């Protein structure tokens, strides 16, 4: 898979449209998932994800091959997200978008809306570096080393960000009632 990805990037460097399409199909979920958990608005997240893939098309030659393509993509997304975060007004204007767009229950994901909202809110309350580490390691399944590569941070820092962030999210969930009541209610409604 890794060598496949590296081959895709070298074909993109030569201008292959097909390789570019394949790369998008293969990695859009990871990049968008990471950005959606990092930024307040899903629209902003998708916007930056698109910019990330455009940057890959224009700068595929910058991939050195030392890290995985997935980490490289998330590193680009991370840099772009950080510079977007600096635009405070943009963030303020859209910071409640997620409540409208992302608060409804997903299809069979098994999470109650209360849990989703609480976790989302707690994630947004974390410092951005900690949030990024949590998003990559807990939600996207990156290893600590991969996340450290993507975020350009020392491994120990990433590990401590993930541990602290996870504790904070668990504390938040502990403060609201369990999901059982929601699941029972949802099943009752289905019947």
Contact set with other proteins (CB under 8 A): 15, 21, 24-25, 28-29, 32-33, 36-37, 46, 49-50, 53-54, 57, 61, 102, 105-106, 109-112, 115-116, 118-120, 138-139, 166, 169-170, 173-174, 178-179
Question: At a CB cut-off of 8 Å and minimum separation 6, what does 54 contact?
Answer: none
Instruction: Return the structure tokens found at 33.
Output: 């998932």
72 vs 156, which CB is nearer to other proteins?
72
Question: Cα(138)–Cα(169) distance, rounded to whole angstroms?
Answer: 11
- Minimum distance between the CB of residue 70 and other proteins, rounded to whole angstroms? 14
Residue 46: CB minimum distance to other proteins, A: 7
- Smaller CB distance to other proteins: residue 70 or 120? 120
Alpha-helical (H) ranges within 14-127 are 17-38, 42-59, 69-85, 88-94, 97-102, 113-125
> Nearest distance from residue 31's CB to other proteins, in Å?
9
What does the alpha-carbon distance between residue 168 and residue 165 come to, in Å, rounded to a whole number? 5
- Shortest separation between residue 13's beta carbon and other proteins, angstroms: 9
Rg, Å, the chain Cα set: 18
| 6/173 with CB nearer other proteins | 173
């Amino acid at each position: 898979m890794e060598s496949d990805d590296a081959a895709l990037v070298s074909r993109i460097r030569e201008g292959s449209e097909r390789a570019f399409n394949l790369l998008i199909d293969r990695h859009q979920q990871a990049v968008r998932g990471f950005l959606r958990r990092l930024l307040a608005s899903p629209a902003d997240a998708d916007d930056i994800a698109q910019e990330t893939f455009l940057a890959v098309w224009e700068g595929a030659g910058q991939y050195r091959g030392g890290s995985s393509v997935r980490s490289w993509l998330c590193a680009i997304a991370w840099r772009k997200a950080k510079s977007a975060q600096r635009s405070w007004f943009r963030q303020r204007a859209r910071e409640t978008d997620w409540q409208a767009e992302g608060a409804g229950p997903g299809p069979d994901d098994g999470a109650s809306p209360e849990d989703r909202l609480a976790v989302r809110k707690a994630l947004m309350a974390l410092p951005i570096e900690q949030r990024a580490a949590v998003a990559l390691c807990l939600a996207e399944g990156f290893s600590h080393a991969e996340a450290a590569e993507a975020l350009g941070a020392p491994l120990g820092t990433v590990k401590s960000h993930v541990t602290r962030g996870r504790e904070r999210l668990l504390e938040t969930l502990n403060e609201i009632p369990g999901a059982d009541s929601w699941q029972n209610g949802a099943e009752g409604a289905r019947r």
